[in-house]
Amino acid sequence: MSPAIESFAWPLSRVGEALEAIARATRVQVDAPPPPAHADLEDAARTLGLEVESLHVRYADIDAMLGSVAPALLRISMTSRSAEQRVVALLDTRGKSARIIASDHAVRTVPLAAIHDALCVDAERAHGARIESLVARIPLSSEERLRARAALLRERVSTLSLDAGWALRVSPATSFLHQLRSAGIIRMLGAMSAAHAASFALSLIAWWVIGRGALSGHLDRGWLYAWVLLLVTFIPIRVLATWWQGFASVLIGLRLKRRMLLGALNMSADAVRGQGTGQLLGRVIEVDAVEELTMRGGFASLVALVELALAIPVLALGPSGVASVATFLTWLAFAAFLVRRFAHRWLAWSSSRIAMTNDMVEGMLGHRTRVAQEDPSHWHDAEDSALATYAESTRHLDRTNMLIVGLLPRGWLLLGFASIAPSFVAGTSSPDRLAVGIAGVLLARNSLVRLTTGITSLIGAFAAWKHAAPLFHAAGRAEPAASSRRPSTNDSSPDAAVGQGTALLDAHHLAFRYRDEGNLVLRDASFRVRYRDRILVEGPSGSGKSTLGSVLVGLRDANSGLVLLNGLDRKSVGTQAWRHAIAMAPQFHENHVLSETLAFNLLMGRSWPPRRDDLREAETICRELGLGPLLERMPGGLMQRVGETGWQLSHGERSRVYMARALLQGAELVILDETFASLDPETQAQALRCAIQRAPTLMVIAHP
Ligand SMILES: Nc1ncnc2c1ncn2[C@@H]1O[C@H](COP(=O)(O)OP(=O)(O)OP(=O)(O)O)[C@@H](O)[C@H]1O
């Protein structure tokens, strides 16, 4: 390894500082306060507006990874085994070189190959000696020996996996503008607008060159060459503008999708349940429309505005400057009136369309009930009336759209030429001014064509946005969870030195009702859960046991009262850290087996892909819960696909998968809500033994 890389790298103990340096260099959160010294890497990154993704990569793929992973913290191997491990703060890569932030905070450029070598030192150390002795036995020149050694080493380690460190991504929860800025998209849009303006300016000059020659009746060779040259220059500029536009739209679309996905995950469980599947599906469908229409409309409108801004001074330079500009501005006012009307109609049309989607999905879900309970002659009444409303609003919309698309550009062409016609007829203006006047009219017409397409798409995007916005805003609610860490009995720091008898969770006078005017489900509930407690919560059906569980775990907020975890409320701890500390296996009807492998379903609380240790632990817990025979029966074992499209787990098997999933989260308190109800007495006893043994603190909710 090049010693320079090692000396530029940060010791592992300063990895938080390296993270902060990258956040500042990439301008993610310039004003963010430094993360608390005790925060782990994931929490610290979140405070800085970044997401951390562990990098596990095969040696054969290291080059490909280096080309696309920046910014990242790369864990390099040390030349001396005793030295402290170090990380390279990779800022970005350009061709064969990379910019890194050295541990003295200076930005340095190093060869990418040096970082590659630094990542491979351990593998070389492990296998190099054997390969060396093998190559030494073959009669080769020294150059051939080097090549053979490198090829054999590559072959030997190519399938091995390397824990390469962490990729850093701007969190989709940070301000969207911030995300665009840090990805360089704003700069790209600026360059695109400048390229469009340059291409319009070129086309105007080209028009002036050819137009004045044609109108004055003599076109010499020099002017003709100039005209051809202008047209040729126009092509690369236009290609560049289109390329930037396409690239920016892909990057913006990607960020929009990630933001919406986070928003969907951040929505509260009750909000999701309250809205119903139809509404939610409608929102998700609208996300696509927002993306599609914003891209199409946004770029077209941006280009149209550049054209408009150029058209007005060009019109003013024409033969009837003031009259032409005044006519154009009046026409624009008329266009604004039509567009406003179109916007109203689109909103009405889009609401009835979305209502129909919602009703259709809800109707499909409740189809069997309808078949069983409704008189067949009334099955389609609601759909007929919704269709009639939809058809009516479509008719209104189409009429205004026809006026906008058909009348606005053509009407202007007539008015524009009419405004310069008097000076043309009277022959009072020079050919130069006449050429410029005609160019102005045509340019203004082009801007109107583009503006009508752009604005109609933007209105569509706005209507779709009204439905998708809750998802977008929900993403912004991701709270900075770095204010505290997970409480852990394994933690050796003094404030976490806990043992049996220490309070883990305190509930003070909890009250909860589902609806403002509804009955209290929890009333003045106060209790304490200590570390290592094993608690049984019993009560009749409907008495509020599951509700209590969901309040403790942080799925619902109590209307009054307080829950404290190690003396801190949820706001101070942070939702993320709270959920790390308290895990629940909800009741059967609120829990799900996803269509994925069994391992995925078990290890949902851990990083994916799983490490070997995670898989081993998952299998051990499954066997302790009596799922051993099932693992033997399933051809894929832990990697067997389960869920709707896979192996259908029985009721009792599923409840133990939920239990294992909760136990595998490494939480301090595990709440099992009626998880044992579906098990036979022998399996029940076995599963309970496992839960008691595995959960640091356990709360079991059950019927008496
Ligand atoms: N989303 C909701 N909106 C209104 N009321 C609800 C809602 N969810 C639950 N409830 C009501 O709150 C009360 C407590 O429900 P909860 O599920 O907590 O009871 P439980 O003790 O766990 O019952 P069981 O033992 O039958 O599972 C019940 O009367 C239930 O009908």
Query: Residue 460: pLDDT band by 50, 70, 90 thresholds?
Result: confident
The DSSP line for 47-72 is HTTEEEEEEEEEGGGHHHHHHH--SE
Spatial distance between the Cα atoms of 551 and 584, rounded to a whole number of angstroms: 11
Count of beta carbons in the 10 Å neighbourhood of residue 681: 8
Query: Residue 109: pLDDT band by 50, 70, 90 thresholds?
Result: very high
pTM: 0.66
Pocket test for ligand 1, best of 547, 588, 591, 675 (most atoms within 8 A of CB): 547
Answer yes or no: is the C-beta of 542 below 6 A from any ligand 1 atom: yes
pLDDT for residue 481 is more than 60? no
For atom 31 of ligand 1, which residue has the closest CA?
542
pLDDT at position 484 is 40
> When comparing pLDDT for 439 and 43, which is higher?
439
pLDDT at position 477 is 67
pLDDT at position 88 is 92
Looking at every residue in the chain, the average pLDDT score rounds to 84
Q: Look at 60-64, 72-76, 94-98, 488-492 and tell me which has the smallest mean pLDDT.
A: 488-492
The token duo for 544 is 């509020």
pLDDT at position 560 is 93
Q: Look at 90-104, 216-230, 439-453 and tell me which has the smallest mean pLDDT.
A: 216-230
Q: 514 C-alpha to center of ligand 1: Å?
A: 9
pLDDT at position 494 is 37
Spatial distance between the Cα atoms of 412 and 422, rounded to a whole number of angstroms: 17
Q: What is the pLDDT of residues 344-368, one digit of tens each?
A: 998 888 888 877 877 777 777 666 6
Pocket test for ligand 1, best of 270, 515, 546, 550 (most atoms within 8 A of CB): 546
Q: Of all residues in the chain, what percent carry a pLDDT higher than 70? A: 91
pLDDT at position 148 is 87
Q: Is 138 helix (H, G, I), strand (E, B) or coil?
A: coil
Q: 159 C-alpha to center of ligand 1: Å?
A: 52
> When comparing pLDDT for 510 and 36, which is higher?
510
Question: Are 204 and 310 spatial neighbours (Cβ–Cβ below 8 Å)?
Answer: yes
Average pLDDT in the 168-194 region? 87
The sheet carrying 697-702 orders its strands as 534-538, 697-702, 669-673, 582-585
> When comparing pLDDT for 261 and 688, which is higher?
688
The two most distant CA atoms of the chain are separated, in Å, by 107
Q: 548 C-alpha to center of ligand 1: Å?
A: 10
For atom 18 of ligand 1, which residue has the closest CA?
544
Q: What is the pLDDT of residues 605-638, one digit of tens each?
A: 887 778 889 999 999 999 999 999 999 999 999 9
Query: Residue 82: pLDDT band by 50, 70, 90 thresholds?
Result: low
The token duo for 200 is 């319009």
ipTM score? 0.95
The DSSP line for 56-112 is EEEGGGHHHHHHH--SEEEEEPPSSTTSPPEEEEEEEEETTEEEEE-TTS-EEEEEH
Spatial distance between the Cα atoms of 348 and 354, rounded to a whole number of angstroms: 10
Instruction: Say which DSSP state 32 is in.
Output: P
